[in-house]
Structures are given as structure tokens and as C-alpha cells.
Structure 1
Amino acid sequence: MAQFRETPYGVFNYLVDLSDGSETDVAGGFSEISGLNAEVTVAEYRAGNQKTNYVTKVPAIHKSGDITLKRGVIGAENLYNWLDQVRSGDITAKRNVVVKLMSENHSESVVQWKLVNAMPIKWTGPTLTAKGGSDVAIEELVLAVEHITQE
């Protein structure tokens, strides 16, 4: 259940439960999560005998956007293996992924978003360059989700 307070929570303390047992493990640690969104489409309707000259907007299908997870390359194969499971046509590959925004002291979850029937649709490896520098090798996983709930 989301916890209300007057000041907003910071965006830097969160956990991701991939439903693979890696939630508090380094293999489940992500540096960035983006794309949490839900949208309701509308159908426009107007009867020819309506006295007003504008359309009525009726709620139609709702959809959720794709979610992008980024983490440093650590040699863990759980994301790529999950993508491979989907590519091989395994119909059990869909999972409920939970993103938990944590309190400042990491003691409790203050808001949770459940990504219902998530499955990977794109994996992107790091950009490699011989120029050197202090950048970290980042891999990215894009999840298609059927529905997002907030708790």
C-alpha cells in the first residue's frame, strides 16, 4: 500500500523483483528504470441527431508502456537467459515484476508498481570504446508489460 506524506520520496532507493530470486542480489540491481506509464485510449462518438457539435469521448482500451531496466555489466546471465526463454517460444516466460520504491533508510517499501505479465522484448549490450575514460559498461533490457498496478 502506498504511503502518503507531504514531501516527495527520492528516486534513488528502489528494488526490482524479477521473480527469479535476485531482488536483493547484485544480479537484480539496476541503475535506472524508465517508462513506468499507463494510458487509456478513447473512442470518439457522436450521434447525428445530437444537439451539440462535438464528439463524446468514451474510455476504450488501456495499455502500458514498455519498461526499460539498465544495469552495469557484471557477468550475470539472468536477463539474457530470460530473453532467450522468450525467443525460444516458451509461453511460461511471462513474469510479474515488482518495482519497489523504498524509504530513505531502506527499511520499507513506500510505493510498489507491479508489472503484470512482463517479458523481455529487447536486450542491448554496452557501447564499447577504446578511448578509455571512466564510463561503466551498461546493459539494457526492455520489458513489454500487459498491465501496471500501483500498490
Structure 2
Amino acid sequence: MADNGSAQSQDTKMWPLPSFHFKVTLGSVGEISFSEVSGLETEFEEITYRAGDSNDFTKLKMPGLKKVSDITLKKGIFVSDSQLWKWIGNVNMNIIQRENVTISLLDESHSAVKTWSLTNAWPKKITVEGFKADGNSVAMETLILAHEGIQISE
């Protein structure tokens, strides 16, 4: 390559985004620091059909209802950090504090590059990982959210 004397800028669209810089906002609960997010997936059920007088001896396949998986969030346990426990404590029979949740993948300037928005999310399960007397790891808790859909925006 010949150097024409001008500074060449690198095209940022050529590189994939790193997965380690993200933020999670749980509606009115607020922004909470999590170390891991998983379960951002959408799937369509398959509908198969074949008419009895069809000349093809194969079934037609078409998309049916959309399914979304539960979202799993993991974080360290901090002193005086009880926001998640208060939220899950509000879940009673038919009384659920549903929240719109946003999960944003951030660039190096801390701006959201891609955002996954969960509709009507609620805490389905919270688990505290076990403790070990001879361990050297951070105490962790896992929150599983049920929700009614994911929208992706850039």
C-alpha cells in the first residue's frame, strides 16, 4: 500500500463488538450492574401442513407463534444491595410488578450500540450460589426474568 500522507481512519463497522461492556436497566428498579447476561433468543414454532390431494409428498413448513426464552442475569452480592430481593418480594399471587428491561451493548465511549428491550418482564426466580469455606470466589446471585417479547434497536 502506498502512503499518501493522510491519516487513515479505521472503519469501526469492520470489527465485532466485544461482549464485556454492557448495562442493564430494570425499569423503575433502576440500573443494576450484572456480570453476565444470557438467554436473549427468539424462536418461532413450526407449523407443518400437507393437503391430501397435494402432488408433492412433502409437508409445507411455515412459521407459527413466536417463543422467547427466559433471561438469566448474574451479579455479585454487595453489602446493602437489596433491590432485586425487594422486587421479587413484590411478586404475589396475580400481583406482579412488571418492568420494561433494557440490555445495552456499549462501545468504548459508553454509548449504546445495540439495545434489547424486554416487554413486561418480572422476576421468575432468584438464586444465591453456594458458599465454600475454602473458596476464593465472589458471592453471586442469579436472577431469571420471564417476559413477553424482545425488541432490538440500534
Output the TM-score relative to the length of structure 2.
0.86
Amino acid at match of 1:83: I
1:81 to 78, 81, 86: 86
1:94/1:117 contact within 8 Å kept: yes
1:135 corresponds to 2:140:
no
Structure 1 residue 88 displacement after superposition: 4.8
1:5 corresponds to 2:13:
yes
Deviations 1:80-117 (A, max 9, x none): 111121235324x11110001000231x1100000111
1:149 to 140, 148, 151: 151
CA distance in 1, matches of 2:43, 2:29: 30
Q: How does 1:99-138 map to 2 (within 5 A)?
A: 99-106=103-110, 108-131=111-134, 133-138=135-140
CA distance in 2, matches of 1:127, 1:62: 35
1:18 to 26, 49, 57: 26
Aligned residues: CA RMSD: 1.4
Structure 1 residue 42 displacement after superposition: 1.3
- The percent of aligned pairs where both chains have the same amino acid is 37
Deviations 1:54-102 (A, max 9, x none): 11112110011010000000131111111121235324x1111000100
SS of corresponding position for 1:5: helix
Comparing both chains, which one has the higher relative contact order based on Cα–Cα distances under 8 Å and sequence gaps of 6 or more? Answer: 1
Unaligned runs of 5+ in 2: 1-11
Unaligned runs of 5+ in 1: none
CA distance in 2, matches of 1:96, 1:139: 21
1:40 corresponds to 2:37:
no
1:10/1:104 contact within 8 Å kept: no
Structure 1 residue 21 displacement after superposition: 5.3
Misfit runs of 4+, over 4 Å = none
For the pair shown, the structure with the greater C-alpha radius of gyration is: 2
Total equivalences in the alignment: 141
1:50 to 39, 54, 78: 54
